[in-house]
Homo-oligomer: A and B are copies of this chain.
Amino acid sequence: MEIQTPDWVKHAVFYQIFPDRFARSKHPQKRILTTARWEDWNAMPTLQGYKGGDLWGVIEQLDYLQELGINAIYFTPIFQSASNHRYHTHDYYTVDPMLGGNAGFRELLDAAHERNIKVVLDGVFNHSSRGFFFFHDVLENGPHSPWVNWFKVHDWPLSAYNGDFPANYEGWDGNRALPVFNHENPEVREYIMEIAEYWIKFGVDGWRLDVPFEIKVPGFWQEFRDRVKAINPDAYIVGEVWTDAREWLDGTQFDGVMNYLFAAPTIAFTAGDRVDIEQVQDRSYHPYPPLFASEYAQKITDVLELYPWEIQLTQLNLLASHDTARLLSIAGGDRASVELATLLLLTFPGAPSIYYGDEVGLPGRLDPDSRRGFPLEANWDREILELHRQLIALRHEYTALRTGKYEVLFAEGTVYVFARTWGEEEVIVAVNVGTEAAHSNFVVSKLRSQPSKLLFGSAEVSWNNEGESHQLDLRLPPRSGCILG
């Protein structure tokens, strides 16, 4: 079977939006909630508070995103939910009223599509919430409920809210707020498939799937793919799988996964011993211990060998998400770590995904801190923003940076150099993560040209050609990187 993934993803730069926190619309809108009773936008977020971001606010920021070079948005959940992150789905067919409801989402989707910006939604299909109608009916009616077999009930009575008693049903990760669906039940399976179809028909460009590895029913994700792609063959299906995801990346299920296997070594390499262990330990990815360039090269080579190339090009690469601390905080505030890692992210095969606010240097330790309100312009880190703009623009300009072959050229000590090549187009990317300037000199046998124009960053570059042998001589300032084209 030839693996097919959506072309547009290969050329996409994603922006991950946590809807409650990205933007609150300034223009008047028809709202259900007319008086703001949410937390102060700039105050530290809390686990349960809302800040009132909405989809109209996103519409108002589409100019900003477009200027940044974004052409795809991944929204964490937008469906009606009684949690600020909205992973506790209350209704899969209703966009949360605070966000603007289905009408607001229609507006946003149309506005995004007018700008050729794709929109991918977060699908939470392993579990629902205590308020989700079908579970609520079981909670209210016990064994009388016709929906009993939709969940994994062990015994009666259910105790959904009182921790003094056993929940008596399966909750995700033991959390009684998140009743797990019984996917063995064909009714449940059909119900989920129809949700997926509904929103693809509505016009969304794909699904990011929450904890898809929890659904172990044979054929589930295959059917999901078949039914989604039958409506839109270009729909993007990306799973939240933090580890080796070969099981799902055989071409019959997902087009890619959230690439924490890229994030972890990239952080370990660029932030090194600055990594605040508290922010990363006991997580599903491992951005530590620090890596030398050679170790990083090995990890990257490994991950690139793990999946077919067609899949590599539609991986969702990232440095941070709502599920992690932000890199700036992981690195103890070290801006260079962010710059270096962002350079590696935006030059890697697969679609880079920028977690809202990372581009303006927003810090954030683990949840809830990693979900702050998008900062006021006065508080933006302009250099970090400019770096993002430049790197995204270069990625759009050079096909090689998007779909070109990836070749490690040099990896020693603190210096890591690789090439991206697409036909005649050859680009070299180099970073020096060390705190001292680095002088490297190495033979480059894999390129036809000798890229020496500095497209990004600062470096002293020269080529020494002795017969067939081409030597690149590269002087990189401390904690810096460059792109040569």
Contacts and interface: CB of A to CB of B under 8 A. Distances in A.
Contact of A49 (B82, B144, B159): B144
Given A38-B146, A133-B90, A133-B131, A141 B48 contact: yes
Interface in A134-149: 136-137, 139-142, 144-149
Nearest to A147: B33
- Copies of this chain, complex-wide, total 2
A146 B33 contact: yes
Interface in A220-244: none
Interface in A23-54: 32-39, 46, 48-50, 52
Contacts of A186: 34
A386 B275 CA distance: 85
Contacts of A98: 146
Contacts of A38: 146
B91 A91 contact: yes
Contact of A141 (B82, B97, B130): B82
A156 interface: no
Contacts of A144: 39, 46, 48-50
Nearest to A137: B82
Contacts of A442: none
Contacts of A141: 48-50, 82-84
A140 B82 contact: yes
B187 A91 contact: no
A379 interface: no
8 contacts: A33-B147, A38-B146, A48-B141, A82-B136, A88-B140, A91-B133, A130-B136, A159-B161
Contact of A140 (B34, B39, B130, B190): B130
A177 interface: yes
A421 to B, nearest CB: 52
Contacts of A50: 141, 144-146
A123 B252 CA distance: 48
A149 B48 contact: no
A395 to B, nearest CB: 39
Nearest to A194: B32
A191 interface: yes
A71 interface: no
A interface, by DSSP: helix, strand, loop or mixed? loop
A97 B93 CA distance: 13
A149 B34 contact: no
A82 B133 contact: yes
A136 B88 CA distance: 11
Contacts of A480: none
A409 interface: no
A83 B97 CA distance: 24
A139 B34 contact: no
A80 interface: yes
A186 B142 CA distance: 36
Interface in A152-189: 159-162, 177, 186-187
A187 B130 contact: no
A115 to B, nearest CB: 30
A93 B37 CA distance: 25
A134 to B, nearest CB: 8
Interface string A326-349: 000000000000000000000000
Contacts of A90: 133, 136
Interface string A88-102: 101101100110000
A145 B52 CA distance: 11
Contacts of A149: 37
Contact of A139 (B82, B91, B133, B187): B82
A194 B35 CA distance: 18
Contacts of A160: 161
A137 B97 CA distance: 12
Contact of A52 (B36, B82, B131, B146): B146
Contacts of A46: 144
A146 B39 CA distance: 9
A113 to B, nearest CB: 26
Question: Which 3 residue pairs spanning A and B have beta carbons closest together?
Answer: A131-B136, A82-B137, A48-B144
A74 B46 CA distance: 47
Nearest to A188: B32
A36 B146 CA distance: 8
Contacts of A88: 140
B37 A146 contact: yes
A37 B137 CA distance: 13
Given A32-B191, A187-B35, A140 B49 contact: no
